[in-house]
Structures are given as C-alpha cells and as structure tokens.
Amino acid sequence: MHLSRDDFQSSSSGKPEGLKEIRDEDLIVLVQQGHRRAFDEIVARYKGRLYSFILRMVKDPTLAEELCQETLIRIYMHADKYREIAKFSTWVFTIATNLVRNKMRQKSRQPRFLSLNPAPDEDEAPVDPADPKADPSRAVEGEELADLINEATARIPEKYRVPFLLREVEQLSYEEIQQVTGLKLGTVRSRINRARNRFRQNIKPLIKNEALLKELEEIEARAAAEDD
C-alpha cells in the first residue's frame, strides 16, 4: 500500500479524510509506518465498541474507561507486532479481553466475603432460575433501559459473558471468538447458547414492561433518524 500523508488530511471537523474507506488491516499498516492520523481513525472506529464491550464486562464506568484507553494505547505502542494472519478486530478484542481478564483476576484475589450461593461455574451447571425478586410490575422510574440491560448482562457468569458480548455487541463470528478466547468452536457455541438462555431469563421481567418497550422503540427511532 502506497499512501502519503497528503492522501488523508484533516477536514474542518478535525477528522481525517481519505481514511474512512480504508480497511482496518491497512490502517494498522499505516500506523506501523508512522502515520498518526491512521491511528486517529482506528480510535474513532473502535473506541465506542471497546467501551461498550468492556463496560458490560467490568460494570464500573471508570474502570471501563481506563481499560478501553489502555487497549488503544497498546494497539498504538505494539502496532508493529500485528501481522495480518488474523482480522484486526480479532487482535483488538484479544488485547481488550486479556486486559479485562487480568483486571478481574486481580479483583478476585482481593479479600472478600464468601458467598453462600456462588454462581455455577461449569459448562454443565444448570441455568439459574429467574430471579424471583425481579417483578415485572416494579416501578422503573429513574432507571433507564440501558441500566437494566447492563444489569441483566452483568448477571451472566463471566465465562459465558465474554463470547456472548463478542457475538452480540461486537458481531464477531464464531471463528473470531474462538481466536480471541482460545476456546474450541464447540465450546464457543455452547457458551453463547448458555449465555443467551441466562440473558433471556434476566430480561424476562423487562419484556413485560410496557414503559420499557416504549422506550426501546423511541431509542430505535432516534437511531434510525440519525442514520438518515
């Protein structure tokens, strides 16, 4: 690929022009050659996706922001290590997943109270019954749909949540999830299925809530209007 700095000068909006049509894998090659604007484009493409994925993994917005920025910094600092044997997005989410796992492992090492009802941790464990406290008729004032969905996602055990989010939020293929997580393809399928079962149980109360369904339609309508 032969591109010069002149091929992608900044527009008046501050965003680099001429880079939008370039594949991720070519952008990182430009970064390897020292083009900082190519990295700006990578940040623009991935920061939202990464933050969304990481926040739903760690639940803490401050920590999610830190880990998201750390992922982007590592992409820049270790750009020379990327080889096009895998999709760029796979590489990015492998870095993010490893950072999140390390952080969660650190947190789990911190002393805490033992739970009398630990979440089942094995693939063979039965899916938990729906939370009896989750009443579909409960008031949702002050709680937005996003918070409730995040909560429902966070209650999926971590080992199922990683492939689930990579599939649902990041739209990675099963093979890409396999590469990111290092799991076998069959295990990826099985974990996504189990995560969906758990997710469905967790959101069951929300589905029956008319106010939330109306909010969902409004959000989708706004998004469609923005796309137009």
Read off the tokens for 110: 């911190």
Q: Give residues 155-184 in contact with another protein (rule: CB under 8 A).
A: 167-169, 174
Give the Cβ contact number of residue 52 at 10 Å.
Answer: 16
Which distant-in-sequence residues (6+ apart) come within 8 Å of 184 by Cβ?
Answer: 178
Q: Which is nearer to another protein, 73 or 119 (CB)?
A: 73
Residue of the chain from 143, 200, 211, 214 that contacts another protein (CB under 8 A): 200
The least distance separating another protein from the CB of residue 121, rounded to whole angstroms, comes to: 20
Q: What are phi and psi of 154, to 5 degrees?
A: -65, -20
Q: Does the protein bind another protein through residue 38 (CB under 8 A)?
A: no
Q: Which is nearer to another protein, 107 or 208 (CB)?
A: 208
User: What number of chain residues touch another protein (CB under 8 A)?
Assistant: 44
Q: Does the protein bind another protein through residue 69 (CB under 8 A)?
A: yes
Residue of the chain from 5, 20, 23, 36 that contacts another protein (CB under 8 A): 36
Q: Does the protein bind another protein through residue 15 (CB under 8 A)?
A: no
Q: Does the protein bind another protein through residue 154 (CB under 8 A)?
A: no
CB distance 216 to 223 below 8 Å: no
Judged by the rule CB under 8 A, the positions of this chain that interact with another protein are 36, 43, 47-48, 51-52, 55-56, 61, 65, 68-70, 72-73, 76-77, 144-146, 149-150, 152-153, 167-169, 174, 189, 192-193, 196-197, 199-200, 203-204, 206-207, 212, 216, 219-220, 223
